[in-house]
Structure 1
Amino acid sequence: MSTTLPPIDRAPLRRRRRRAAAVQVACILISLFMLVPMVLIGLAAVSSPQALLEFPKPLIPSGFSGDTLLAFIQATGTIPALGNSLLVGVYTVVLSLLVGAPAGYALARQVFRGKDAYQVFMLLARALPIVVLSVPLATMFLNTGVYDTVFSVTLLHTTLAMPTTVLISASIFVSVPTDVEEAAQVFGCSRFEAARRVVFPMALPGLAASSIFTFVLSWNEILGAAVITLGHRTLPAQVLASLGEAPQAYRFAGGFALILPALVFIFVMRRYLVNMWGTTLR
């Protein structure tokens, strides 16, 4: 005697496929929203000055040339500003990790009264407009003799990056099992040695991902750097100061120059992006 099986309900599978397709479409649209302006700026930066003056402008320029980028690179102050931006970005990453990573470790491992309120309080530095922070900092830097230096911009960018660095580092260290750290202490390591030899190496991919965020934040920050520098500007501040008098070709080349280094840095560090929350690549 044969038994008839009930029909298979494929509705949950269809709903799951529709949700997956909707997520894919949303990801593609968001990627295009971010990518299309970069592509257009890049095309304009490698276009000839004559092609930039065409009207109506075609999507693909009629003439390509390196004269626009070359003129921007040869402009007064561009190369020193590029060097200042790179130095500030690297110094900000190093200083933020030196201070923020131990603070994040303490938040992840220690329990104390007001811990949640403290984490929320740290974000107030990002809630304030950058001008509100940069003006009193500029006054302090003038009084201490460090105004208009790479060091002053590094301090400003570190102040902006510190809250997110601490909170991201804390989430990374939370994902590192405490059993591993306790096992290291059982085998003779002190608390500091266990953290240095076991916990921090395991959290290194996530900390590298955190450094991406910090570097891009420092590279793209413009208002604060424009307020506290005059002769030692970063590249974004230099481009901002020159926009009023610069021709159109310089503006496109400047925009492309601001985008390219950040994209290169992210491309080099891309394998760590999925480790932002302490997971491990396999």
Structure 2
Amino acid sequence: MTGPATTATPAPAPRGEAKTATATTAAARRRRARRRTVLVQTACIAITLFMGVPIYLVALAALSSREALNEFPLALLPTDPSFETMRVFLTSTGVTGAFVNSIEVGLLSLVLSLALGVPAGYAVARYAFRGREPYQLFLLMTRALPIVVLSVPLARVFLGTGLYDTTYAVALLHTALALPTTVLITSAIFVAVPAEHEEAAMVFGATPARAFTRVVLPQALPGIAAAAIFTFVTSWNEVLGAAILTFNRRTLPAQVLSTLSDSPLAYRFAGGFALVVPALVFIAFMRRYLLNMWGTTIR
């Protein structure tokens, strides 16, 4: 008679081989992590150069003397700094008024966009209503409209209402351009704010409005800052609508477009530099709230 069949069990691996395999796996993970880090840093450097090099070249040309700008090949480092070109541009007729108009239009567009977009974003995030998804899709579709589609009909309306050639007309146009993005950005931020925080505030006696302003709004400031940056930069850089809706009260981009098209190259660079600097200053001012949205704290 034969006994029952027995299953052979593999002998356990020696302890030294197990440690070696674990160390090899950990080393492979570290190498992959280093490769990912290098790739991310390389991508960040490439994007920074892509965005920063044109700004540097414009600044170099605007702050160089006419002789240095006409040299060939053009030096990549400042060899003969001069503020003469910028001084002449800034003191030219209409530039100061256009700069003030741009600031006024940008801030007014910012206030209107946030005043209308933040409550709309909160409603989209907190309340389920019929047609919410088509409404968000409609907001995205409005961004696909060319600026001339809005500018020409609005010019006719503003001519009839007396708003033509005013900063209010341009601000209304820029608000219409920025409002869809403001609603979508703020709604995404309000979704991330736990509703329990708001409910807890109301349990302790806060009204819905007070719970929103004291609990929800501070947590949504990064998203509101991002929407504010987008609105101001969009308004500051927009040129076609401002050129159509104004004649004497033009913003700085429209003024630069209309007056520097036949000017020497140095003054074109000066105009471009004057357009870039205020937007960079505004972004630098708002960066604290924007970086907090990404989990970074500036101390």
Query: Normalising to structure 1: TM-score of the pair?
Result: 0.94
SS at match of 1:147: coil
**Is 1:185–2:197 an aligned residue pair?**
no
Matches within 5 A, 1:8-47: 8=23, 9=25, 10-47=27-64
Which residue is 2:256 aligned to?
239
**Equivalent residue in structure 2 for 1:198, among 203, 206, 215:** 215
CA change 1:169–1:185 in 2 (3 A) is same
Percent sequence identity over matched residues? 59
Distance 2:163 2:72 in 1: 48
| Cα RMSD (Å) | 1.7
Matches within 5 A, 1:168-179: 168-179=185-196
Is contact 1:149–1:232 with CA below 8 Å preserved after alignment?
yes
Distance 2:214 2:77 in 1: 54
Distance 1:157 1:176 in 2: 28
Shift in Å at residue 281 of structure 1? 4.2
Shift in Å at residue 61 of structure 1? 4.5
Report which stretch shifted further, 129-138 or 184-193. 184-193
Distance 1:272 1:126 in 2: 25
Larger radius of gyration: 2
Report which stretch shifted further, 28-37 or 202-211. 202-211
Is contact 1:138–1:147 with CA below 8 Å preserved after alignment?
yes
CA change 1:41–1:215 in 2 (3 A) is same
Distance 2:204 2:106 in 1: 39
Which residue is 1:102 aligned to?
119
Shift in Å at residue 276 of structure 1? 4.5
**Equivalent residue in structure 1 for 2:70, among 53, 63, 67:** 53
- Given residue 183 of structure 1, which amino acid in structure 2 is its aligned partner? A
Is contact 2:221–2:289 with CA below 8 Å preserved after alignment?
no
**Is 1:213–2:234 an aligned residue pair?**
no
- Given residue 35 of structure 1, which amino acid in structure 2 is its aligned partner? G
Structure 2: state its 5+ residue gaps.
1-13
SS at match of 1:123: helix
Distance 2:75 2:195 in 1: 59
Which residue is 2:240 aligned to?
223
Distance 1:172 1:243 in 2: 41
Distance 1:58 1:130 in 2: 38
Query: Where does structure 1 differ by over 6 angstroms across 4 or more consecutive aligned residues?
Result: none
For these two proteins, the number of residue pairs brought into alignment is: 280
Distance 1:102 1:73 in 2: 40
Which residue is 1:267 aligned to?
284
Shift in Å at residue 113 of structure 1? 2.4
Report which stretch shifted further, 61-70 or 103-112. 61-70
Is contact 1:212–1:266 with CA below 8 Å preserved after alignment?
yes
- Given residue 183 of structure 2, which amino acid in structure 1 is its aligned partner? V
